[in-house]
Chains A and B, each alone.
Chain A
């Protein structure tokens, strides 16, 4: 039994978990903000909406589609020069952040756009008929009315981000992916790999639980 526990290398596991949680939280927050902004722009510049603008809409749309389609592992590689300029290194948790955010934000932007499109046009019009300006419409109507969908969307995105951090880990970003690969796979220690997997699953379940909870309490429909 002692032997078994020794095999796991608790300290390294805890450290790896902390790194994963760190990468996930920072990238979830940034993804939420950037995705929300892009999603709002996509929605508002679409035909028939407040800032209707075909050019801006197609530009954002193309960018979002391109970055959404690049497989994450390739995106990391593509972004190496950019990351080096930004973070100064290719190693460590911080180095993974640009790729994580750029990979996830467009994905979330589409979800935001879909959530906003679900809002009844009549409600937006009703608020305009009461004299609401664009700021009122965005902050008092669009965001609150789509909140459950925005939360369930960021939950799904956060879970994919946990997966992305694991991939980033393999090429040197640290975290549970790195731990499983280096300590588990390369040293042929399947117990470590299994433990890392369980740790990732726990993180994913916790995210899902929190997300479901907040989706439920904000949904008054």
Chain B
């Protein structure tokens, strides 16, 4: 079932130098229970797009429907009611510093008019759900960034929303905390069947939790598809750059150049694995079946929500013809092979 439908949406801001097209003719359908990622560089229009999903911004053109509410049209109390089903978490958490953890989580329940007893019960559930037991009475200033975001998530889940919007929710966190928060989001998505829309400029975040991804550039969605497909076969230049963020260690280009000098004999080969192939014992078989030596130079495997993806650089050396046979063998395993340096 479609949970979010964005049709021909445009957002134009007036500015001194004419108009800024922050979002330019975007069409998206996001399914119920999906974790959908939007990636793009700064200024691409990601925040503007996500803010139109809960009516914090109104589109200049087009329609936005979320959980059967035409968010781009409804106003006043209807919009406020709809917003209780479309929660949001933020890069800088946006907690009320004058309230404790418990009171912060209680805030949306107060707004929804939930009775005091019900509130206390629900807040306890939420504190458990996000793993903040023992910190109920702390103030935000006494929490770490990761804990603050947990409060943000608990608060966002308080009224049992259908959709969770995440605007750079992990960008202010260190890598380890980012992973913990992402795990929590996946857990919530599985347990509650919540639809999650997440924007980021880090491919790592997309790779780790998203099912599908849209790449934004200059207000437009330039590429979209299941995360694994996009990783396997990025079309646009910008997408390739994002994919490289996670698949290729930064030094790769430089390394390959050195490899050529270091291994004048044999071949340096880059293997790309996708999906199940990443988990097969390919190298073992390669050595067992061929008269060659295999040196593993560098490699990385990434796990996405719909399969794994990886690259491996190896050096093959052996009698004439044997190396070529080995490469042909690899090819039969649905693994991408690219000869980088020829001895």
- Residues on A facing B (Cβ under 8 Å): 120, 122-123, 125-133, 136, 140-141, 144-145, 147, 218, 220-221
Contact = CB atoms under 8 A, between A and B. Distances in A.
Interface of B: 54, 56, 77, 80-84, 86-88, 90, 92, 94-99, 107-108, 110-112, 139-141, 155-156, 159
B94 A136 contact: no
Nearest to B140: A220
Interface SS of chain A: helix
Given A125-B56, A140-B110, A220-B141, A133 B94 contact: no
A141 B96 contact: yes
A86 B212 CA distance: 71
Contact of B141 (A129, A131, A221): A221
A144 B56 contact: no
Contacts of B56: 125, 128-129
A128 B87 CA distance: 10
Given A145-B96, A145-B98, A131 B107 contact: no
25 contacts: A125-B94, A126-B94, A126-B95, A127-B96, A127-B107, A128-B83, A129-B54, A129-B83, A129-B86, A130-B156, A130-B159, A131-B82, A131-B108, A131-B111, A132-B80, A132-B111, A133-B77, A136-B111, A140-B107, A145-B96, A220-B98, A220-B139, A220-B141, A221-B97, A221-B141
Contacts of A140: 107, 110-111
A120 B111 CA distance: 20
Contacts of A141: 96
Contacts of B88: 126, 129
Contact of B81 (A122, A127, A131): A131
Contacts of B82: 131
A167 B336 CA distance: 89
Contacts of A133: 77, 80, 111
Contacts of B107: 127, 130, 140
Contacts of B84: 130-131
Nearest to B79: A131
The 7 residue pairs across chains A and B that have the minimum distance between CB atoms: A126-B94, A131-B83, A131-B80, A130-B108, A220-B139, A122-B94, A129-B88
A123 B94 contact: yes
B240 to A, nearest CB: 34
Contact of A122 (B92, B98, B141): B92
Given A126-B90, A144-B96, 19 more contacts: A120-B94, A123-B94, A123-B95, A125-B56, A125-B94, A127-B107, A129-B86, A129-B87, A130-B84, A131-B80, A131-B83, A131-B84, A131-B108, A131-B112, A140-B107, A144-B98, A220-B139, A221-B97, A221-B141
Contacts of B112: 131
A144 B96 CA distance: 9
A130 B94 contact: no
B111 A218 contact: no
Most buried by A among B82, B88, B97, B99: B97
Contacts of B90: 122, 126
A130 B83 contact: yes
Contacts of A132: 80, 111
B160 to A, nearest CB: 13
Contacts of B108: 130-131
B271 to A, nearest CB: 46
